[in-house]
Structure 1
Amino acid sequence: MIEKVDFQFEGGPHGVLLIHGLTGTPAEMRLLGKGLHRAGFTVHGMQLAGHCGDDNDLLATDWKDWYASVQAAADALEQRCSRVFVAGLSMGALLALLLAADRPNRVHGVGVLGATFRYDGWSIPRLGRLSFLLPLLKRLGIGRHRSFMEQPPYGLRDERIRATVSAAMLGGDSAAAGLPGNPWHALADMYTLAARTRRRLPDVVAPCFIAHATEDDVASLKSNARLVERRVSGPVEMLPLDDSYHMITIDRQRRLLHARLGAFFARHAGSEPLPLASVA
């Protein structure tokens, strides 16, 4: 059963839509949402279709459903805010970029956080690096009940946070920490989404703030963040993070990320950010 765990923080006239990653949860965006709210923004940490339940809930959806839920959340935020920004983590970054490509006059800035077009980080096993073949397997009906299980360090350099998140994830609390594995067919849809978003990158004219761990264990900076930097048409600001792994919104350098992204959005909203209060 899917638990509703999205969050809303009412703030100023400018809104930020936050999008979590594949098999993830809005909880991975909550600290960032609090930081942006303290900087004066209205924030919605949305919940992707099919997420925060079990494997069957996720497999009942595909990338089009995930994107439709992003579009609906953006529409709702536009009703309350004069300008809308969007930021996503991992696969959420791809959905954010696709929304910006489709809505060049309605998305005023994009936070591209740990973008994942390819699973080629240092912790990904050799078999996992062949996951780009999964769309073919899905079309052939192969592997519906197979998953790639998450492996240490679970995207987290901070050992204390890693212990907390892994305990919740492996304990079955998908609403708090996401699923412990990536179903093959869901990954197949992620790769289909990645291919579509890659083709649309030149259509992204909104300013892009790209943050990525230099030692990302899931998705390398070179194949993912640099791809976005090269291909989008809008202005780019890059923040490499040298003391974090993939889950940069909650890892060791989260406060730096929150402050820099808030300042970036504030500049493009035509306002100065409020001082950021300390966020855990």
Structure 2
Amino acid sequence: MKEQYPVIKGAEPFQFEGSRTGILVSHGFTGAPQSMYPIGKAFADAGYTVCGPRLKGHGTAPEDLEKCTYQDWVASIDEAYAWLQERCDQIFMLGLSMGGTLTLHTAEKYPLAGIIPINAAIDVPAMYENQSVRFIDDDGPDIKKADVMEITYDKMPVQSVEELKKLAKVTKDNLKEITCPALIFVSEEDHVVSPDNSRAILENISSRQKEMITLEESYHVATLDNDQDVIISESLRALQSWL
């Protein structure tokens, strides 16, 4: 799928070369790498090799996203995984929202050393059902902290929501295949993805090492919200314990 629109300034992918331990960082549906940059930079500052891809159809225009299948987003992750594989002996993955879904999906097919899903979706909210329009208006990023900017689309293609539902279903159906260590972050109050998703993930993955941390001061886009430092510190702690 060839994109027709230029990349929004600030929505570019990022890469940091460091140690032989790699971390793949994925943004969410209609978002951009910008939402994950502070987390990725913290991992890089800790010495890790980090790759934050821009998922196909994201960070340009909703019309580009509309042309994508969920396999296009998976392919974006596969490319990032291959980049890390060339440089690293082991790879961890962290993702927000649909990025969390992609984190789970990747763990179902690749030997990841550990995963950190943040407000991951395995069920798409019913409000997106039975839409007869081409685009759904987006009310803006679900962030509790005041005056925080997220690069995201102001409308969602209905066709893309259908692809998101497919990704969520295939991922949910194979959760038992996940055996690597897992740290699951869930916002206590999330107006986009129900916290029940994270509870179901915790319950259904086969990992022996798994824990869930509740974020009490953040909404859905927790990586840019009040608990950003909690995500960074707890993620670094988990990574050290898994190595």
Supply the distance in 2 between the matched residues of 1:15 and 1:213 (Cα, whole angstroms): 26
Does residue 157 of structure 1 match 2:144? Answer: yes
Supply the distance in 1 between the matched residues of 2:92 and 2:75 (Cα, whole angstroms): 17
1:258-277 paired onto structure 2 within 5 Å = 258-269=232-243
Deviations 1:199-237 (A, max 9, x none): 010001111110010111211212x10010010001211
1:169-184 paired onto structure 2 within 5 Å = 177-184=151-158
Shift of 1:60: 1.6
Supply the distance in 2 between the matched residues of 1:268 and 1:112 (Cα, whole angstroms): 16
Any conservation in 1 of the 2:21–2:48 contact (CA below 8 Å)?
Answer: yes
| Other-structure match for 2:6 | 2
Supply the distance in 1 between the matched residues of 2:57 and 2:135 (Cα, whole angstroms): 17
1:61-210 paired onto structure 2 within 5 Å = 61-103=68-110, 106-120=111-125, 129-133=126-130, 143=133, 145-147=134-136, 149-151=137-139, 154-161=141-148, 164-165=149-150, 177-210=151-184
| Other-structure match for 1:29 | 36
Deviations 1:131-171 (A, max 9, x none): 2556xxxxxxx54x222x2225x21000121xx34xxxxxx
Question: In structure 1, what residue type is equivalent to 2:76?
Answer: S
Does residue 15 of structure 1 match 2:35? Answer: no
Shift of 1:130: 3.8
Deviations 1:159-188 (A, max 9, x none): 121xx34xxxxxxxxxxx021122111111
Aligned pair count reads 235
Among the aligned pairs, what percent are the same residue?
28
Does residue 251 of structure 1 match 2:238? Answer: no
Segments of 5+ residues of structure 2 without an aligned counterpart are none
| Other-structure match for 1:230 | 203
Segments of 5+ residues of structure 1 without an aligned counterpart are 121-128, 135-141, 166-176, 270-280
Shift of 1:67: 0.5
Question: In structure 2, what residue type is equivalent to 1:82?
Answer: D
Residue 95 of structure 1: SS of its match in structure 2?
helix
Q: Greater relative contact order: 1 or 2 (C-alpha under 8 angstroms, separation 6 or more)?
A: 1
Supply the distance in 2 between the matched residues of 1:51 and 1:110 (Cα, whole angstroms): 23
Q: Which runs of 4+ in 1 moved over 2 A?
A: 117-120, 129-134
TM-score by length of 1: 0.80
Supply the distance in 1 between the matched residues of 2:103 and 2:215 (Cα, whole angstroms): 20
TM-score by length of 2: 0.92
Residue 224 of structure 2: SS of its match in structure 1?
coil
Supply the distance in 2 between the matched residues of 1:42 and 1:198 (Cα, whole angstroms): 29
Question: In structure 2, what residue type is equivalent to 1:42?
Answer: T
Supply the distance in 1 between the matched residues of 2:178 and 2:124 (Cα, whole angstroms): 23
> Aligned-residue CA RMSD in angstroms?
1.5
